[in-house]
């Protein structure tokens, strides 16, 4: 990025846009809902099983004017999902302020590793052991989605659930490459601990983005 672009990205007036597309929400509470996804580049959380590692380096993705992102999004849907990467790496206020002013309903999928910026209708917090959420995001989370890679992740999930609101929706989701191994264990765990629900990556089963 040239210097002026870097300044604009740091202000949130431009964002490193990896991709944007209209599809169905595949995971969590809003599974099956038509939504427009904005995937922002940049993440230093470093999950070894991440399925979008190409999003990690923001320099690989073009700095795109926030107005352009908003205008394109609203051609497709009034329900917008901002994901990454880790979108809270950047200032989300310019993006969400403009989307809200134009009547959009905005969701975010975040690890919570950085302070919350922006105005959101739904916050899906998906905490990671490699870089834990900042404390201030827990009471604002509408949905807690914990990825289950191994047995220890059940303990991690319970630890994280202690920090969120009582009405926060709780989901366990098998890590895709381990789904055959972990799914029976998740089923048993949810049946024994019914405050939790199962989230599946249904978009992968449906072969859609």
Is residue 66 pLDDT above 70, yes or no? yes
Q: What is the share, in percent, of the chain residues with pLDDT greater than 70?
A: 99
- The reported pTM is 0.96
Query: Where does residue 135 rank: exposed (0-12), middle (13-18), buried (19+ CB within 10 A)?
Result: exposed
In this prediction, residue 3 carries a pLDDT of 66
Given a cut of 90, whether residue 1 has pLDDT beyond it is: no
45-49, 74-78, 104-108, 161-165: least confidently modelled range: 45-49
Q: What is 83-133 written as a DSSP string? A: ESS-GGGS--HHHHHHHHHTT-EEEEEE---S---S--SEEEE--BTTBPP
Whether the per-residue pLDDT at 122 is higher than 70: the answer is yes
**Cα 117 to Cα 158: distance, rounded to the nearest angstrom:** 26
Q: Tell me: the pLDDT tens digits for 84-111? A: 999 999 999 999 999 999 999 999 999 9
pLDDT value of residue 148: 98
The per-residue pLDDT for 2 is 62
> How many CB atoms neighbour CB 35 within 10 A?
22
pLDDT at res. 127: 98
Q: Which residues contact 191 (CB under 8 A, 6 or more apart)?
A: none
Beta-ladder partners of 106 = 80
**Per-residue confidence (pLDDT) for residue 151, from 0 to 100:** 97
The CATH number for 84's domain is 3.20.20.70
What is the predicted pLDDT for the residue at 173?
A: 98
β-pair partners for 108? 82, 123
| pLDDT of res. 20 | 98
Query: How many domains is the chain partitioned into structurally?
Result: 1
DSSP secondary structure, 180-205, as one string:
HHHHHHHHHHHHHSTTEEE---HHHH
| Structure tokens belonging to residue 204 | 């992968």
Q: Which domain holds residue 84?
A: 3-206
Query: Does position 116 have pLDDT exceeding 80, yes or no?
Result: yes
**Nearest residue to 12 (alpha-carbon basis) of 145, 100, 118:** 118
Q: Tokens at residue 45, please?
A: 């959380």
């Amino acid at each position: 990025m040239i210097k002026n672009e870097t300044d604009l990205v740091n202000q949130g007036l431009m964002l490193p846009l990896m991709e944007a597309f209209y599809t169905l929400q595949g995971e969590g509470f809003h599974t099956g809902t038509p939504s427009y996804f904005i995937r922002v580049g940049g993440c230093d959380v470093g999950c070894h099983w991440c399925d979008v590692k190409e999003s990690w380096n923001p320099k690989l993705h073009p700095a795109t004017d926030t107005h352009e992102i908003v205008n394109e999004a609203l051609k497709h849907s009034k329900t917008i999902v901002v994901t990454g990467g880790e979108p809270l790496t950047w200032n989300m206020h310019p993006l969400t302020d403009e989307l809200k002013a134009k009547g959009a309903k905005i969701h975010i999928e975040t690890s919570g590793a950085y302070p919350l910026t922006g105005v959101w209708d739904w916050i899906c917090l998906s905490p990671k052991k490699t870089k834990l959420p900042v404390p201030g995001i827990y009471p604002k989370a509408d949905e807690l989605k914990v990825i289950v890679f191994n047995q220890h992740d059940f303990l991690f999930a319970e630890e994280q659930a202690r920090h969120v609101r009582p009405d926060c929706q709780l989901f366990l989701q098998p890590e895709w490459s381990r789904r055959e191994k972990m799914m029976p264990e998740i089923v048993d765990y949810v049946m024994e601990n019914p405050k939790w629900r199962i989230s599946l990556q249904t978009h992968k089963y449906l072969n859609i983005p």
